[in-house]
Amino acid sequence: MPQGEQATPGGAIEGPLLPPGLVWVHLLGPIGLVLIMAKELHTIPLPELMRVVGSKYIPFLAFGLSFEAIYRWLMPSLLGRLRSAWARFAAHAFVIIGVTFVVALFVHPLMQMAAGHRSPFKWFVVMATVISAVCLIPALLIQRTRLRALAAERSAIAERQAALQAQLEALQARTDPHFLFNSLNTVAALIPEDPKQAERALEQLADLFRYALESSRTRAVPLRREVAMISDYLALQSARFGERLRTHVELDDAIADVQVPPLLLQPLVENAILHGTARRRGGEVRVSARKDGDCVVIEVTDDGPGPGASSHSGSGSAISTLSERLRLHYSGRGEIALHTRSDGGCLARMVLPLSGSA
């Protein structure tokens, strides 16, 4: 069955409105109805039995095909324009009652002709409406639940792929020959001057690799863990650049345990250093995370030339990848944007919801 679109309060769910298995109700329903209604079935001659079953097939197939056509071509676009759950419920009720009545006008004479006896039209409409509702309403609810489960599964897979891509990019950043070479050179230079700092630098480098690897096995981490990782990253960069790089990290204790996707900050901080500081005589990178109402606001700022004015040319994919991860993880409620600071430099701001953040 071609794909339709069923509107829900949380957005559109793609897929057929009616389950494909409903066709078996149209095919087997008349036989079941005859078995339930007919008395002393074994005494009915075969031609008479076939006529009875045939008379039942006429309404089942007529109503079934009509509802299949309506829910295949008309209802997806109609429901897509309705935002209220009550409006969608009313649309379903109107279609069930209206289609049943219209089809009954044509089917009732044919069924009487096939059955060989007359039956009241009102009684036929009432029975057809009840049977249609009994068949359609559970089918619609089951299919809606199934489509939502499939959509959630696809979203989880997409989020997982985005997280793995972020992990890969983080590992690539850490194993980049320049980063690794510079970090090891920094450690080597520190050994004769400050062995304890050199040891700490090696521990920080190991922590960075460990965090990137562990992030592939979890969907979310406490914000304090993410900030601790970025503090290690900045400490390594500070040891490398010395007084050229000034850093400041600030975390509001009220949101320290909020769960966030791992490896959110690393691409922003790396961009701040590459675009704002690395090719200048000196610079500053600041990271802050605070609570703002029912949101978590994370900001990474530098005092460089600002967005689009850096002499460093990159792929430009870090922000788009991060934006996609936030969209998947927070169902469209997380966002990120770059701004030019009033005093120059770049401000990367992430706004994440506190509720349902993991």
What global pTM score does this model have? 0.54
Give CA angle at 275 (271, 279), nearest 5°.
Answer: 130
What pLDDT does residue 10 have? 37
Residues of the chain with CATH 3.30.565.10: 176-353
Nearest by Cα to 255 from 212, 208, 298: 298
What pLDDT does residue 134 have? 85
Cα separation, 18 vs 51, whole angstroms:
30
What pLDDT does residue 217 have? 75
* Token pair 């993880």 in the structure block, residue: 329
Cα separation, 29 vs 104, whole angstroms:
17
Q: Residues 175, 181, 186, 190: is their CA dihedral positive or negative? A: positive
- Could you tell me the mean pLDDT of each successive run of 10 residues in the chain, 358 residues long? 39 67 63 56 58 67 82 84 85 89 86 72 87 84 84 78 65 53 78 86 85 78 93 87 88 94 86 74 89 94 77 63 82 88 87 74
**Domain 176-353: CATH class, spelled out:** alpha beta
Phi-psi region of 340 (alpha: psi -120 to 50; beta: other; left: phi over 0): beta
Cα separation, 212 vs 129, whole angstroms:
60
Whether 173 contacts 266, CB under 8 Å = yes
What pLDDT does residue 137 have? 86
